[in-house]
Structure 1
Amino acid sequence: MVEPLNPLWHLSQGPVQGRLEGKVALVTGAGGAQGREVSILFARAGAHVFASDINAATLAETETLAVAQGLSINCSVVDASSGEQAASWVADAHAQHGQIDVLYNNGAGVHMAPFAEMTNEQWHDTIRLELDVVFMPTKAVWPIMVGQNSGSIINIASGSGMLAAEGLGTAAHAAGKGGVISLTRQLSLEGAPHWIRVNCISPGPIMGPALAGVYKDEPAFRALFDSTPSLERHGYPVDIAYTGLFFASDESLFITGVNLAVDGGVTSKAGAIFSRK
């Protein structure tokens, strides 16, 4: 696939200022490419952003980028799979502002291996890194949102939770992200009486630093990655961030229980054509 001649024109974009004015937004996994993009976008939109990550170094990079843009983001090193750490982080944000309007569950981790080769430890650790990191922060914000009778929870799943993928070793990842999608639906039902909206984003092929090396060095992966979308490019973190902005804002007050694939059309077609060796 050939990248567009003007890729910036094709990236998600639009008005930002004021769309989250006065809201308090919590973002996990803010040291990664997607979490960093959404943290900065939420801050640009006027939110008080509390960003967390387990990796202090990458989280510091997020803070540095925010400061360079004249933005203030409250950054904390937090293991979102720890109930104690997640609860302390949420309590601190609530104590400072008296409300929590948005929880963006972006944090995750995964072990990739063919099912026949996957160890029990890899399986259990992936489930912790895919599901516990959603459960623990959500558990912490839930009573606050119930008490204020409002809130938007946005969970990040994956196209792997919707479709099987050949040759990538995604068994545990698929189970975890499929669980995120199902949990989203259930929480949307239980949250509805309290006007807690719970939605899910399932990214498709999104380019970021973690994939740049393998994309450059492995032609077979590059062919698969580029052939899956219907649109003539793969995705970027900003594409996911703008979707999160919509779910976080009052523009989506009558939307809950949705799993939205942001994938350039991957899940709308029967298959992809790519080179096989």
Structure 2
Amino acid sequence: MNYLRKTRKAICYNQGELTQYFYLASHFHRELKNEVYSSTVDLERIQILLDNLISFLNVKFAEAVNENFSHLAGFYKNRANEEPRICLKSTYDNQIVDLFRNDATTYNTKYECSSNTGFEYVKKNGTYYFCNDIPEKAQKGLYINPRLDSAKIHQYSGLQKKGPTKLTIIKTNIDNEWINCWKNSSNESRDGIKSCYKSTIIIPLTLKNSSMSDIFLDLTNLDHEGRTIYGFLCFDHINTDYFCIDDIDLGYIFADLISLYMIARKNFTERSATYKKAQSMLR
């Protein structure tokens, strides 16, 4: 299956899912609205309808994200012995937090945006962050990550081994010295090894680069929010020089698709007068 066919298949999937997502979310929201503004208020019924709306938005969003991760993984088959890790992150209380991942983690994934060079760059500039040689950048002081041990980074001697390294979790050519540079890391499991990555891409989910009408910006308050970044689509890999320039465009395609679910969810919840009124009535 070639690149364009894979892309078409992913877009076709999202076309159907987004159509259903918007339509059914609107249906659940309308039911809630009718009850909230009814002449005879039934708080128990409002709670049920509010739960129905939130449950639908969350469950279907999770299904869509995981399916898009599967589509993305198809683009990386046979590029290396290990596929890249893919995750969707967002911000909560000024911290970067995980929403969904295609792998398991055993370390803390919540941290200040300013403590990670990649996320700080994306948030400041509203565009992607690309780094194909984290060890080199880290040694030069151009990359920081709360999981990296700065003292061990400066002692790391692996930079002399340039170029992609075909790592596997079975053979003994694992870069244990690099793994040791990561806090709470381990080479005893596949997930532990993959979490000590050397290449990364971070793509913002945002309308920043889109042409929006003044009416839309005023109604959504986006101008006052600095063209909101709804989330971050993140890729990383244990090899250096793993990603290519085309992966940036690929990342943006999927980030834009996933952002539509997040925007719809936002519109039916925190941007909805009905949703806010229902919550206030149930307090």
Q: What is the TM-score with the length of structure 2 in the denominator?
A: 0.30
Q: What is the TM-score with the length of structure 1 in the denominator?
A: 0.31
Q: Which structure has the higher relative contact order (CA within 8 Å, separation 6+)? A: 2
